[in-house]
């Protein structure tokens, strides 16, 4: 399994438009972050988790030849706004499969109504095969088993995903004990760490580190970070030896 971090930033990305914050002005490429998304390759199968407003740019940069499944964690714009940009894959491969909860699907149907119309469909709009995710029910993309992990993004229940011994969680603030149990014996855990200060709907850095200690994976990677977390190089030096701060286009192999 190969994991490529397409984007590792929070909802505004880094640099933030018009910001004079030192991190936003950094010349280090690792301090420049598109909205969070990840590409997972298992043999010849390619999965994407979330497609935010930077999706087109991310696909041009990573250049996957096809996509076997697009998984959504939740409906917020930084995780869904790029849905229209799946069109080139649809034109090339035909079937394009998405995996989403019913609530997120309802949101997508409202925001991208022209994609989901069944009568007088807009010419050129992609046709999607819809697969509904429910908590506590594993699902498969091709022969890849995926376990949904329900986490709380403030008051909003959203999904993370476990694939083999890899788990990807973003926008977490709290999690029920029963869901934490699904994260036993991980090789790699990816989890959000927005900033050093506490936030109402995201892990702070310390909360993320406490959670990593609880889950106890072999390695952990921090994503969905804002400029307020600090410079990449400085943050990395402060982390435990098995915890790493992600950056855009970082690839890891399990």
DSSP for residue 210:
H
Average pLDDT over residues 151-159: 98
What are the CA-CA distances from residue 144 to residues 1, 106, 132, 135 (Å)? 11, 26, 16, 17
Residue 119 has pLDDT above 90, yes or no: no
What are the CA-CA distances from residue 254 to residues 44, 120, 172, 187, 248 (Å)? 15, 46, 24, 8, 18
pLDDT for 118 equals 85
Find out whether 82 and 88 touch, Cβ atoms under 8 Å.
Answer: no
188 forms bridges with which residues in the sheet? 166, 219
Average pLDDT over residues 45-74: 98
pLDDT for 23 equals 98
Structure tokens at 16: 């933030």
Secondary structure (3-state) at 78? helix
Asked if residue 15 has a cis previous peptide bond (ω within 30° of 0), the answer is yes
Write out pLDDT tens, residues 208-234. 999 999 999 999 999 999 999 999 999
pLDDT for 121 equals 83
Percent of the chain with pLDDT over 70: 100
Find out whether 253 and 1 touch, Cβ atoms under 8 Å.
Answer: yes
Domains and CATH numbers, the chain: 2-253 (3.60.15.10)
Residue 123 has pLDDT above 90, yes or no: no
b/e code 212-230 from CB counts within 10 Å (16+ = b): beebebebbbbbbbbbbbb
Write out pLDDT tens, residues 16-32. 999 999 999 999 999 99
């Amino acid at each position: 399994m190969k994991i490529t971090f397409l984007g590792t930033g929070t909802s505004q990305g880094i640099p933030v438009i018009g910001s004079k914050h030192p991190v936003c002005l950094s010349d280090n490429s690792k301090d420049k972050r598109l909205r969070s998304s990840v590409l997972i390759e298992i043999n010849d199968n390619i999965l994407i988790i979330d497609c935010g407003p930077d999706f087109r740019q991310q696909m041009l940069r990573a250049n996957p030849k096809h996509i076997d499944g697009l998984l959504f964690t939740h409906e917020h714009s930084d995780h869904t706004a790029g849905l229209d940009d799946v069109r080139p894959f649809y034109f090339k491969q035909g079937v394009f499969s998405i995996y989403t909860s019913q609530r997120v699907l309802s949101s997508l149907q409202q925001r991208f109504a022209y994609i989901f119309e069944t009568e007088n469909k807009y010419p050129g709009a992609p046709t999607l095969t819809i697969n509904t995710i429910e908590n506590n029910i594993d699902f498969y993309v091709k022969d890849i088993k995926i376990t949904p992990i329900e986490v709380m993004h403030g008051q909003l229940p959203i999904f993370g995903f476990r694939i083999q011994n890899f788990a990807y969680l973003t926008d977490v603030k709290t999690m029920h004990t029963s869901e934490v149990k699904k994260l036993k014996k991980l090789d790699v855990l990816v989890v959000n760490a927005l900033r050093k200060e506490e936030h109402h709907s995201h892990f702070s850095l310390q909360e993320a580190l406490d959670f990593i200690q609880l889950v106890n994976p072999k390695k952990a990677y921090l994503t969905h970070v804002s400029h307020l977390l600090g410079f990449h190089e400085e943050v990395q030096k402060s982390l435990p030896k098995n915890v790493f701060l992600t950056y855009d286009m970082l690839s890891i192999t399990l």
